[in-house]
Amino acid sequence: MNKAKASSEKSVSASSRTISLLSQLEKINLDPVLGESDSARHVTSKILHLVQSQEKTRKEMTSKGSTGIEIILSTLENTRDPQTIVNILNILIEIVSIGGGRRASVLVTKGGTQILLQLLLSASKDSPPNEELMVLLHTLLAKIGPKDRKIGVKARINGVLNISLNLVKHNLQNHRLVLPCLQVLRVYSTNSVNAVSLGKNGVVELMFKIIGPFSKRNTSLMKVALDTLAALLKSKTNARRAVDRGYVQALLTIYVDWHRHDSRHRYMLIRKGVLQCIKSITNIKLGRKAFIDANGMKILYNTSQECLAVRTLDPLVNTSSLIMRKCFPKNRLPLPTIKSTFHFQLPVIPASGPVAQLYNLPPDVDDVVDESDDNDDAETESEIETEIDDDKDQHFKNDDIETDINKLKPRQELGRSIEELKMYEQFFPELSENFQEWDLVSKEPKPFVPDANLSGPIVVPTASEEHSAVANPSTKGVALKECSPLLTEECNRRPVFLELPKKDGAKGGSLHQQNDQRNMLPSSQCLSQEIVKGLDRISLQNSAKNDQHSGTGCVIEKENKAGITTLASSKPCEHVSPCGGSLLEGSSVQLGKLCCTGVDSEEEDDSRSSSSGEHATLQVSEVSPVHDCDLYLEMVKNTKSIPEYSEVAYPDYFGHIPPPFKEPILERRYGVQRTKICQDIERLIHQNDIIDKVVYDLDNSSFSVPEEADVLKFNSKFESGNLRKVIQIRKNEYDLILNSDINSNHYHQWFYFEVSGMKTGIGYRFNIINCEKSNSQFNYGMQPLMYSVQEALRCRPCWTRVGTDICYYKNHFSRSSIAAGGQKGKSYYTITFTVTFQHKEDVCYFAYHYPYTYSTLKMHLRKLESMHNPQQIYFRHDVLCKTLAGNSCPLVTITAMPESNYYEHIYQFRNRPYIFLSARVHPGETNASWVMKGTLEYLMSNSPNAQSLRESYIFKIIPMLNPDGVINGNHRCSLSGEDLNRQWQNPNPDLHPTIYHAKGLLQYLASIKRLPLVYCDYHGHSRKKNVFMYGCSIKETMWHTSVNAASCDLMEDPAYRALPKILSHTAPAFCMGSCSFVVEKSKESTARVVVWREIGVQRSYTMESTLCGCDQGKYKGLQIGTRELEEMGAKFCVGLLRLKRMSSPLEYNLPSNLLDIENELIESSCKVTSPTTYVLDEDEPRFLEEVDYSAESNDEDIELADNVGDYEATNQDDGLSDPDSTRIHLS
């Protein structure tokens, strides 16, 4: 007790002593007579003693509200007594030495930097200078300098730059003085103008004298000298001076010496300092050339390989890797032009923009080469100071946010006359249909016969007429092509025509009937083993007439000279697709080759180790009843492609079922990126090991596929395929180049191609080398997708996530300024992954995401139309317009039939609010189509909830806004070479017909006062996880700008948040925390913003679905699949049903079984976390999963009332409430 009391008294005493001493010092400052006396020296010495001995005193001096620092600095500024100055400098050094940067910042804010620089200037005039004073001044400046962003300017204005430099020059052997002087020079050199000025005075040469030949003496001095040199060499002028004097070779020699002699790795910081100097000097072309001439690539490669075994040396390996990548000679893509291989002549050439520039390029221009690296050294060093006035800690400001409140306010603008908009009346017959000819009261189902008098599609003047080819159902058989002489004897015994069992001609039955028919098929007819056994390629000939517009009029015959043995499987097909009698009905398309020796035996399959490890088995439904192989081929023959595809990819023909196991987000192996980079660098160092053989080339019309057994065969000549060229680099490594979007010279990301001729047990590396985005979810656990034909023949037709050693990084192929929108010095990026195949001589397909072709959509819509109950569901499938290539853009209308043709029921039918949905404006975002598939199947299902939804709304759906882009394998654009989701403000009817007429539909609804309750455009997101929404809010946009005053009095209905809030509670993949309702300038011409601003739809959304997976909720840590995407589409419908109930809870009398619907709410934590992955800093910055703007505003949140019911299904209805049952069953 006494000890504690004594300690307290001692503390109080010390505190009071400090205050007393500071008061004395302040009085001395006010009295000039006392200032020259011994008093100041005596008081400062006592304060120094307290500061050195007690942390409490140091805290008091810099605490908030304390005047201690001001008094000390005032004394320093006024006194001329050397000892007092030394005492004060020691006091300040003690204060800032402990306590981090906060105390140094306090000293800076009190004007300490200026006082110290002035003192340095006056002290330098002494001859000789006071060494003790100079050491203390430089030590203190080195400590506070990094906290003063203006110190470089202050030093130059005060004329003290060369003082420190001269001290070093004249005292090279005095390490005690040189060390703090070098630290100050390093701080000065962060300012580019200072670095140039110091360089002119010989600082670069001086630094090389210090780091000189290898020596382990004075290593601390050498470390500081290297750091200073690295900062100085960031100036191009200094870097050129270093190159001219041969210092690149000197730096490499120094690095090798330290690498050899530092066997215990005690001097890693010095070695890294040398690398930092090399890194700075190679920022200019002369430096890179000197590095290559000095054999730097081989030196750094060899030394980094020797460091790989020691994890603590990773900083050296990483820095070496960055230097080698930077110095790797820039290569041009091995292409004749970066424009697409395929060309489509536009009916109208835009007056401006990238497409106009593309058309105006002279024919002899080389658009592949990058000219930017040739003249980067011609730029003279700017001596103009460019200071950054913004505080480092200021909040991030996005200049893209719209700040003009007048532009933000929705203004309903039809843009077209009422008379012109009447052309869209034909697409809304539900508003005038009286159903008098329908016997709606009767419960007996009647066949639905579409009205033959309905108006046809809008035909764009530039689009060619679509020729429909109707197959003759009476001629069904298999036309076999001529056998190869190398076929086995058993193949030669195959029948010429294989008659397949025919399906029941009635297509209008229920799905239960369809499933019954499917289950009655023998297992051998899943994908007829007899057909596969006899064919290496199925050719479907149409003997009628060649359609000049369909793009499928020719059949490319290819021979497979490998022998084909009997395909047999002892395992019965569990999932049988309805691929019955009309499988090979006459049409001018053909399936891809079966380059396989047969289905592996079950014994081999059992012995094969699973690449996915242990999987949790899930219940998987059968092949979707809306997939029909026969019907798919029928749809393909009327699909018009620019390359005139004549082949059908097997995955699109067979269909896809979700795999019966979970697919977790891939954990990235440590160091995988640098390993891949080292392998790329080996191409330059060991050039003799590189094969460099072209094995696939779309640009060469006479190119033939290699016949070598050890070379993979590639193909992408099918719908949605995208692969332009393949080059074999090593025996099992291939560089792949993607095709640009048609009428464009960029947008490379989507890929879909076929590989065959592989062997088992070998890891094949694939490098897609011309990607453009600066980062990708491939760096954060996403895997590409693969479809194995061998697995499909085993009745496991599914896309699965595959690949190891996956990463996405900047490569050494340069993008020309033409391809980079005028920007120079841009590089392409590589997606690399390694795959080990499970089956020998398989045919496999790889894709960026789950493919969903235009023909697949047509097939699904046809099946849904044939399956629905016309007594219950009002379903219309119209053609909105023709695309540029002459394909039909489908428009679907879904609602419930009226209960009867009585007036009140017809009135209720006509006055249901509209929901307007669209998808797939960007072809590469295939996940949007899978979400739309889930929405369509749910709307067409027979569950009571779906019926209630149909009775509540009329759905107008455009499931594919960009058919041409989807068909031709584009990633972003239509045939016009433009992003259609940037054309909504002023769409051109000749160039953007689907957007023009989609907007016209909405304008028509606005003109008749029938605005949709909700508009939602389905998209995919390549750089974020989860599913989320973008909406539009004036208030939230203003909150994120500095113009807050205008938004204070702004009244805005927060109902735009209701639907996303509902989905965050009902949809497992949806994350409210990733949503944003900010309107950006760059998005003002998107569908979401235009429909909100011009049409006047408050609930106008873009719904983004991840391409990767989820990091929250039920699916946390899992990659997303078609099951989850379709579930999201269904959950969106459930959300609309709940939204209806919230807005009008008493509107309908609901059946009692619909009231108990909340069996289980999926509570999804929306806290987004970023994975900790190993990514090299400069090329792939840490990927921030967080949204750009805060999407939450708690005071505006719409809380879901506990007593509000919704229409979410029970387990007996459609299984959507069961977390383990995520498929939608159409019962």
**Catalytic amino acids?**
1104
Cβ atoms of residues 995 and 762 within 8 Å: no
Measure the CA dihedral 972/977/981/982, to 10°. 130
Specify the amino acid at residue 668: R
Q: What is the DSSP string of 376-443?
A: TTSSPPP-S-----S-TTSPP--TTB---HHHHS------S-HHHHGGGGGG-GGGT---TTS--S--
C-alpha to C-alpha distance for 195 and 232, rounded to whole angstroms: 5
The closest of 570, 468, 580, 471 to 521, measured between CA atoms, is 580
Tokens of 1109: 């997976």
Specify the amino acid at residue 245: R
The closest of 785, 771, 782 to 740, measured between CA atoms, is 771
Tokens of 956: 């107008």
Helices 2-30 and 55-62, packing angle to 10 deg? 50
**Bond into 1219 cis (ω within 30):** no
Specify the amino acid at residue 67: T
| Residues near 748 by beta carbon (within 8 Å), at least 6 away in sequence | 738, 739, 740, 770, 771, 772, 828, 971
Cα-trace Rg, the chain: 36
Cβ atoms of residues 977 and 1062 within 8 Å: no
What is the number of other CB atoms lying within 10 angstroms of the CB of residue 309?
7
1094 DSSP 8-state letter: I
Measure Cα distances from 622 to 737, 793, 865, 1143 in Å: 36, 15, 20, 38
Q: Which residues pair with 763 in a beta bridge?
A: 836
Tokens of 616: 């949790």
Tokens of 1207: 């229409």
Measure Cα distances from 335 to 325, 727, 815, 828 in Å: 22, 11, 12, 14
C-alpha to C-alpha distance for 593 and 91, rounded to whole angstroms: 83
Measure Cα distances from 297 to 321, 1030, 1045, 1106 in Å: 10, 47, 58, 39
Q: Taken in order 991, 997, 1003, 1007, is the CA torsion positive or negative?
A: positive
Specify the amino acid at residue 442: S
C-alpha to C-alpha distance for 1065 and 389, rounded to whole angstroms: 45
| Residues near 244 by beta carbon (within 8 Å), at least 6 away in sequence | none
C-alpha to C-alpha distance for 714 and 697, rounded to whole angstroms: 9
CB half-sphere exposure, 819, CA atoms < 13 A: 32
Cβ atoms of residues 775 and 1183 within 8 Å: yes
Instruction: Map residue 568 onto helix, strand or coil.
Output: coil
C-alpha to C-alpha distance for 1132 and 1066, rounded to whole angstroms: 9
Measure the CA dihedral 119/120/123/125, to 10°. -120
Q: In residues, how long is the chain?
A: 1227
C-alpha to C-alpha distance for 564 and 566, rounded to whole angstroms: 7
